């Protein structure tokens, strides 16, 4: 029986212009021996492969796109190379593949097919924000996006605040960048003054901004988060 290929999870930078303190971490030897990739965004993947020192001509690469709205029931085409012994790289549009990323379905299928999975080291906005918040790093939950409806969103925020209060657990969530300011306003309206909020935006870029303080102090700040990739964290001591 022909041995199967291996799936390498290749992180990419979080921003278009990552600062020198957070360079992309990768294994150039692996990148330059893999010719097939499963990616969330082909343009982004090709750009970062070039930046990472890819020596293989881009015309020789085979790129499979697996994004948010891809058919999760039709995964066979993504595994043809792996099943015939070729190694494949998995890349997200930003950060670590399979973390708040559709690539987790590819990884899950790889395990079902007994294909070895190798995660490479790289930036995760979720972990970077948690590290920088000063909140509980042993007990935390990432919730992804909260409801868009204002009433439902306010209700959910109170629920997360309650969890943070009862269990001393950090609650992390995100919003579409163009709705960040509305999310911040809703948090400041909904949450108690003593609850703590951390907002980490533009992580690893030159204009990275991380503010971690109480809701009471946040209400005296004027911060513009419009169209800036951000993560929100709630905590209660």
% pLDDT > 70, the chain: 96
On average, the pLDDT of the chain sits at: 93
| pLDDT score recorded for residue 19 | 61
Domains of the chain (ranges, CATH numbers): 7-119 (3.40.1010.10), 125-235 (3.30.950.10)
Split at pLDDT 50, 70, 90, the class of 122 is confident
Residues 80-106 pLDDT 10s: 999 999 999 999 999 999 999 999 999
User: Residue 118: beta bridge partners?
Assistant: 8
Does pLDDT of 26 surpass 70? no
Split at pLDDT 50, 70, 90, the class of 22 is very low
- State how far Cα 146 lies from the chain centre: 16
Split at pLDDT 50, 70, 90, the class of 23 is very low
Interaxial angle between packed helices 180-190 and 150-167, expressed in degrees from 0 to 180 and rounded to the nearest 10: 60
Residues 56-85 pLDDT 10s: 999 999 999 998 888 877 899 999 999 999
| pLDDT score recorded for residue 29 | 83
Q: What's the per-residue H, E or C state across 132-186? A: HHCCCCCCEEEEEECCCCHHHHHHHHHHHHHHHHHHCCEEEEECCHHHHHHHHHH
pTM: 0.91
| pLDDT score recorded for residue 190 | 97
Mean pLDDT of 6-23: 77
Split at pLDDT 50, 70, 90, the class of 161 is very high
* Strand 170-174 with 230-235, pairing: antiparallel
């Amino acid at each position: 029986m022909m041995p199967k290929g291996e799936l390498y999870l290749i992180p990419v930078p979080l921003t278009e212009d990552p600062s020198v303190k957070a360079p992309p971490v990768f294994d150039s030897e692996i990148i330059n021996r893999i010719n097939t990739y499963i990616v969330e965004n082909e343009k982004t993947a090709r750009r970062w492969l070039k930046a990472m020192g890819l020596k293989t001509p881009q015309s020789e690469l085979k790129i499979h796109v697996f994004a948010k709205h891809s058919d999760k029931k039709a995964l066979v085409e993504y595994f043809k190379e792996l099943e015939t012994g070729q190694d494949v790289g998995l890349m997200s549009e930003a950060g670590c593949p399979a973390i708040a990323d559709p690539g987790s379905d590819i990884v899950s299928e790889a395990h079902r097919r007994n294909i070895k999975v190798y995660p490479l080291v790289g930036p995760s906005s979720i972990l970077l924000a948690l590290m920088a918040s000063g909140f509980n790093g042993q007990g935390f939950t990432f919730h992804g996006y909260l409801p868009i409806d204002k009433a439902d969103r306010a209700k959910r925020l109170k629920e997360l605040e309650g969890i943070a209060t009862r269990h001393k657990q950090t609650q992390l969530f995100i919003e579409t960048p163009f709705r960040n300011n509305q999310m911040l306003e809703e948090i400041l309206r909904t949450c108690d003054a003593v609850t703590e909020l951390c907002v980490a935006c533009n992580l690893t870029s030159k204009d990275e901004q991380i503010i971690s303080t109480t809701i009471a102090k946040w209400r005296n700040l004027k911060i513009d988060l419009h169209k800036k990739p951000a993560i929100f964290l709630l905590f209660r001591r």
